[in-house]
């Protein structure tokens, strides 16, 4: 379907902190997100393993597309003499799946954008296991959640990547 957003159903994943908010001190703008951890990502056949594999495949294809479109995508790069090889382009990708570089956490994570209206109410519906609608504020630390996200992307002169949003 041309010009239609892509939606992806994520496997049931654990949220270590529920829906979080961040206030930009300079602008006062509030953004919201939901961090999800990919436990069992190393166990072949599990939903988390399959999800990580899918995202890696999508990101590899995204690198190919970025390499093919490197001049318009990265025309305003800080270093215009930089040779934009496929490896350089791959280095500009911000992966959607984050692995802890410090080794503090065992499982990688995925962060999903969450929108709220002017009153601070989230603009998505949430349901418990019994199918009863609940407030998204009730998503507790350690809960397992299933989400459907809209897939988008971003690109600037220094980086590009996927964006997942709960609508």
In this prediction, residues 127-145 reach a mean pLDDT of: 88
pTM above 0.85, yes or no: no
- pLDDT the model gives residue 64: 95
Q: What is the pLDDT of residues 4-45, one digit of tens each?
A: 889 999 999 999 988 888 899 999 888 889 999 998 888 899
Q: What confidence tier does 81 reach under pLDDT thresholds 50, 70, 90?
A: low
Nearest Cα to 149, choosing from 121, 98, 113, 107? Answer: 113
The average pLDDT across 93-120 equals 86
Q: What is the pLDDT of residue 79?
A: 61
- Of the listed ranges 23-37, 50-64, 92-106, 127-141, the one predicted with least confidence: 92-106
- Helices and strands in the chain, H and E counts: 3, 12
- Euclidean distance between CA atoms 150 and 115, whole angstroms: 12
Structure tokens at 135: 């407030």
Residue 77 has pLDDT above 80, yes or no: no
- List, for residues 111-126, the tens digit of each pLDDT value: 999 988 888 788 888 8
Whole-number pLDDT of residue 76: 62
Q: How far is CA 158 from the centre of its chain?
A: 18
Reference 149, options 129, 131, 124; nearest CA is 124
Closest Cα to residue 137, out of 159, 121, 156?
A: 121
Q: What is the rounded CA–CA span in Å between residue 20 and residue 139?
A: 10
Q: At residue 138, what are phi and psi to the nearest 5 degrees?
A: -85, 0
């Amino acid at each position: 379907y041309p010009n239609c957003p892509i939606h992806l159903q994520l496997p049931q994943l654990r949220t270590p902190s529920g829906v979080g908010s961040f206030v930009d001190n300079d602008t006062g703008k509030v953004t919201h997100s939901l961090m999800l951890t990919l436990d069992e990502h190393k166990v072949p056949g599990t939903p988390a393993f399959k999800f990580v594999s899918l995202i890696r495949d999508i990101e590899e294809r995204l690198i190919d597309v970025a390499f093919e479109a490197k001049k318009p995508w990265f025309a305003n790069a800080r270093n215009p003499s930089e040779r934009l090889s496929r490896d350089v382009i791959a280095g500009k990708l911000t992966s959607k799946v984050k692995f802890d570089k410090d080794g503090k956490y065992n499982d990688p994570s995925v962060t999903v954008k969450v929108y709220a209206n002017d009153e601070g109410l989230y603009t998505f519906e949430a349901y418990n296991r019994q199918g009863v609608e609940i407030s998204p504020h009730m998503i507790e630390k350690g809960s397992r959640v299933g989400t459907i996200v809209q897939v988008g992307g971003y690109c600037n002169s220094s980086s590009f990547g996927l964006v997942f949003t709960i609508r």
